Amino acid sequence: MENIGVLMACPMNAYLEHQLHNRFNLLRFWNFPDSDAFFAQINAASVRALVVNAFVGADLLDVFIDRLPNLEILSTYSVGLDKVDLAKCKEKGIRVTNTPDVLTDDVADIAIGLILAVLRKISEGDRFVKKGLWKMAHFQFQFTSQFSGKSVGIIGLGRIGLAIAKRAEAFNCAISYHSRSQKLNTNYKYYPTVIELASNCQILVVACALTPETHHIINRQVIDSLGPNGVVINIARGGHVDEAELISALVEGRLGGAGLDVFEDEPEVNEELFGIDNVVLLPHHGCATVETRNAMADLVVRNLEAHFMNKPLLTRVV
């Protein structure tokens, strides 16, 4: 397969890059100043596969799809597909794969970690100790809020949402959820709207796919339904949350706290969030463990190998 051109859109994982380099003719887009320079220096007709991730802009993907005449497969090093124009790929006969399942546990773990960090003020406590305030008698660290026994609402009860629910159950939490349709294989309480879900839980976790319908699914009405003691946790996509409304609710005390691993315009983050104590921020790091990122890389490579060997794809989307 050494003569098969595979274009890697941006740096993702050294292990993935090494595996692709060993098996294919790997082209690294980031070694070129821009797309015009790239297409001027390479044989576009030789590129038959494209590897991207959740951070590549849709505009760049459209350029690749339009200017690679023999592109056969697009493999994304992510579960999320919101950057990929699936309809366009289907129209052009380009197969699409992603990397589900292997990152489920890590993302569910980070959701629980964010809940604990927000409720128990772990980041604030860390700063309190490091600043030497603990040893000063007139400074006492504030009380925090218990996680055990809280009611947890989950938006999206797919693989990750279900894994979060099972972990929260271990804390004796009551679980409820909202999704496009009611799940028949669970006893968790279902609410047909996000408003109803938010009105009946203390912690609201976003774990659904980003679509036009779920964009800003966390809006002012949902936040106000959750209330001043409620907590929003987002480990899905930044576009799910109306950040301006979230910030105003936190500042005004209409929401109790938030834990965010994703942002609307990442890696740019609204700096107003930096000064809010009851917010914990992570750099879209939910699945960023060595074990999971390497497993994702293996899945990308195995899908490409399966395609070029005319075998069934492991995780076909289109």
User: Annotated catalytic sites, by residue?
Assistant: 237, 266, 284
If DSSP codes are grouped into helix, strand and coil, which group holds residue 153?
strand
Distances, alpha carbon 177 to alpha carbons 86, 113, 124, 229, in Å: 27, 19, 30, 19
179 residue type, one letter = S
What is the distance between the alpha carbons of residues 90 and 79, in angstroms, rounded to a whole number?
18
Query: Residue 27 has which token pair?
Result: 């082209």
How many residues comprise the chain? 318
Query: Residue 141 has which token pair?
Result: 């660290």
Find all residues with CB under 8 Å of 157, minimum gap 6, and list them.
165, 177, 179, 183, 186, 188, 207
313 residue type, one letter = L
8 Å CB contact between 136 and 159: no
What is the distance between the alpha carbons of residues 308 and 303, in angstroms, rounded to a whole number?
9
- E-only strand ranges, the chain: 5-8, 25-28, 47-52, 73-76, 95-97, 151-155, 174-178, 189-190, 203-206, 231-234, 257-260, 279-281
**210-242-246 Cα angle (round to 5):** 130
